[in-house]
Amino acid sequence: MRLTTPATHRTAPHRTAADGRVRAAVRDADGMAVASFVLGLLGLLVLNVVLGPIAIALATTALRRGTSRRGRACLGLGLGIADLLVLLALTQMNDTISWSL
């Protein structure tokens, strides 16, 4: 005779605290990837001297932490660099850091 446990009484696999920390770190990295994309996009219009470097820092941190939104982090990195290039071009044209639409 074989004893089996009914499906309703089976226990779920044991999750450790490390699993929760890893999932939280990936979720944080995903948020950083999205934030870098949004800040890089906004930086093309306003405050590119501030938002560009922040977008670059968030994107590189998200990529180092292994985000699942790698494409969005790469776009945020590219937009952050584009923010600084736009700032450089406008500075060269106007001989000042400030500019208006």
The range of the structural domain enclosing residue 41 comes to 23-94
Distance (Å, whole) CA 92 – CA 71: 31
Distances (CA, A) of 44 to 57, 66, 101: 16, 26, 11
DSSP alpha helices (H): ranges in 44-69?
Answer: 48-64
Residue 4: inside a domain, yes or no? Answer: no
| Residue matched to tokens 């001297």 | 49
How many C-beta neighbours within 10 Å does residue 40 have? Answer: 26
Distance (Å, whole) CA 13 – CA 26: 21
Residue 11: inside a domain, yes or no? Answer: no
Residue 1: inside a domain, yes or no? Answer: no
pLDDT tens digits, 2-59: 555 555 555 555 555 556 666 766 778 888 999 999 999 999 988 888 999 999 999 9
Residue 75: inside a domain, yes or no? Answer: yes
Residue 72: inside a domain, yes or no? Answer: yes
Number of domains in the chain: 1
Residue 2: inside a domain, yes or no? Answer: no
Residue 76 confidence (pLDDT) above 80 = yes
Distance (Å, whole) CA 16 – CA 30: 22
